[in-house]
A and B are shown apart, each in its own frame.
Chain A
């Protein structure tokens, strides 16, 4: 069975603070993909990143960075110098051998000015 746990239900920070969103996953598959999606107040799901299970290299994209560690089954997401526009619900997701992608419960991030 596949499972994604986002233990942080809500996080509130002040603009320009760094914030890390945690994601822990469980899977028996040897090949799998991990994802992060952003859901702004408007409701759509915005793709942020995909990472396969064989690539543990960390990735940086602007103010966003991702830390994938197979040893701890974690795929954490850090926003550096947060901005009000980063306020959204962020979902971590996992896709394995089956053709279904399972989401975590999401973390609601509020960035205050």
Chain B
């Protein structure tokens, strides 16, 4: 069964460093998303991406964050200068249709620890 894959599964970084989290969505999917979950808390929407541009973003997704699809298969989330409060599990998701009409398939997450 096709699945969304994320790398790395866990990354530890120093505050102020740049981090790139990578995702390979399901191949025929057109919509891509990043969510984050601070330990023990709710799953929060960050950004959705379609047709090589951001379609929606939340108030969390500030200038420190960026997304891109560099090569037609990977979908990356970059955090420019990490802060302690960026420590969280980051989930990538993809869907064949828009989120209000189709199921989102989630990856297993990338845990980011900022020291």
The verdict on A60 contacting chain B, using a C-beta distance below 8 Å, is no
Q: List 25 A-B contacts (CB under 8 A).
A: A32-B100, A35-B104, A37-B43, A39-B43, A43-B89, A45-B91, A50-B102, A52-B101, A91-B43, A95-B99, A95-B100, A96-B100, A98-B100, A99-B99, A100-B33, A100-B48, A100-B56, A101-B99, A101-B104, A103-B35, A103-B42, A103-B43, A103-B44, A105-B41, A106-B43
Give Cα distance in the complex from A39 to B35, angstroms. Answer: 14
Task: Find residues 2-32 in chain A having any chain B CB closer than 8 Å to their own CB.
Answer: 29, 31-32
Contacts of B48 in A (CB 8 A): 99-100
Chain B residues close to A by CB (< 8 Å): 31, 33, 35, 41-45, 48, 50, 55-56, 58, 89, 91, 98-106, 108-109
Task: Find residues 40-81 in chain A having any chain B CB closer than 8 Å to their own CB.
Answer: 43-45, 47, 50, 52
Contacts of A52 in B (CB 8 A): 101
Give Cα distance in the complex from A44 to B111, angstroms. Answer: 11
**Contacting residue for B101 out of A33, A103, A104, CB 8 A:** A33
Contact: B42 with A91, CB < 8 Å? yes
Task: Tell me how many residue pairs across A and B have CB atoms closer than 8 Å.
Answer: 66
Give Cα distance in the complex from A95 to B103, angstroms. Answer: 10
**Contacting residue for A104 out of B42, B55, B100, B104, CB 8 A:** B42
Give Cα distance in the complex from A64 to B106, angstroms. Answer: 21
Q: Which 6 A-B pairs have the closest CB atoms?
A: A45-B106, A95-B100, A103-B43, A95-B99, A100-B56, A105-B42
Contacts of B56 in A (CB 8 A): 98-100
Min CB distance A66 to B, Å, is: 15
Given contacts A32-B100, A45-B91, contact A101 B105 (CB under 8 A): no
Contact: A44 with B109, CB < 8 Å? yes
Contacts of B101 in A (CB 8 A): 33, 52
Min CB distance B50 to A, Å, is: 7
Contact: A43 with B108, CB < 8 Å? yes
Give Cα distance in the complex from A96 to B100, angstroms. Answer: 5
Contacts of A99 in B (CB 8 A): 31, 48, 50, 55-56, 98-100
